[in-house]
Structure 1
Amino acid sequence: MTNEIIQPAGWAPARGYANGVLARDGILYVGGQIGWDADQVFRSQDFVGQTERALRNILAIVEAAGGGAGDIVRLTWFVTDKREYLARQGEVGAAYRRVMGRHFPAMTMVVVAGLVEDEALVEIEATAVIGGPAR
């Protein structure tokens, strides 16, 4: 068995990267997801809107690999504006729960000067374990 590229059905092709890679050991590596949709179009210029879209993108990749929100073990957030994140934590939390429910994996947040896509305000990468042993 080789590693498998994970690309949700109907998404515009990733160019020069993979949205997800499912390793032979069941670990799914989700590349940084930003606030654009399946057509790679930003529908929101708002921090919370982009955060929710990025989380929905992550969940779509995890589901395409056969998992769900509860399989996500790590999220790394990259934000361009620490003050906005802090001021809107309640809204971010509500958006998070709409997508991920009350599943809270290990998380790290990093403040960055910018992201590759100029319109992006947040980028989130994830690691999930798909089909792991039952406890």
Structure 2
Amino acid sequence: MRRLQPPGWPQPRGYANGIEASGRLVFVAGQIGWDETGTLVSDALPAQVGQALRNVLAVLAEAGAGPEHVVRLTWFVTSRNEYVASLKAIGVEYRDVMGRHFPVMAVVEVSGLVESDAKVEIEATAVV
């Protein structure tokens, strides 16, 4: 994997502008902050982010992959304002689960998720 950083662009914080990779593709469906019993772990956005990322890694493990193989994350959040206000705590959750691996990423505000109490849904693409 090679990070793509155009000359003169500022370094992104918490994501990459682009990644070049080759290998076997693994796609992970949107994961929310519930545990293996289908119970949301918290009503707090940062805790839901941490659990959603752990769920992403659990699916990736089935393909023999880990956080280092993730090349793209797409986050759907129900509140941009809550996301921005929680960035520091979200960063702690992210690093606890993903380490210092920062793939390309997009965050999109949505009006709601299928699971009404979920505040975030995260989908992933990995290259193994």
Alignment counterpart, residue 72 of structure 1, candidates 70, 73, 87: 70
Bigger relative contact order (CA 8 A; separation at least 6): 2
Report the Cα offset of residue 40 of structure 1. 1.1
Aligned CA-pair RMSD:
0.9
SS at match of 2:126: strand
Alignment counterpart, residue 122 of structure 2, candidates 106, 109, 124: 124
Amino acid at match of 1:56: R
TM-score by length of 1: 0.76
State the 4+ residue runs in structure 1 displaced beyond 3 angstroms.
Answer: none
SS at match of 1:39: coil
Which residue of structure 1 aligns with residue 6 of structure 2? none
TM-score by length of 2: 0.80
Which residue of structure 2 aligns with residue 33 of structure 1? 31
State whether residues 25 and 127 of structure 2, in contact with CA within 8 Å, keep that contact through their aligned partners in structure 1: yes
Which residue of structure 2 aligns with residue 43 of structure 1? 41
1:18-70 deviation digits (Å, cap 9, x = unpaired): xxxxxxx6211100000001111112111111010000000111112101100
State whether residues 75 and 121 of structure 2, in contact with CA within 8 Å, keep that contact through their aligned partners in structure 1: yes
* Correspondences of 1:90-101 after superposition (within 5 Å): 90-101=88-99
Q: Sequence identity of aligned pairs in percent? A: 52
Q: Which stretches in structure 1 are left out of the alignment for 5+ residues?
A: 1-24, 131-135
1:43, 1:31 → 2: CA distance? 19
Which residue of structure 1 aligns with residue 109 of structure 2? 111
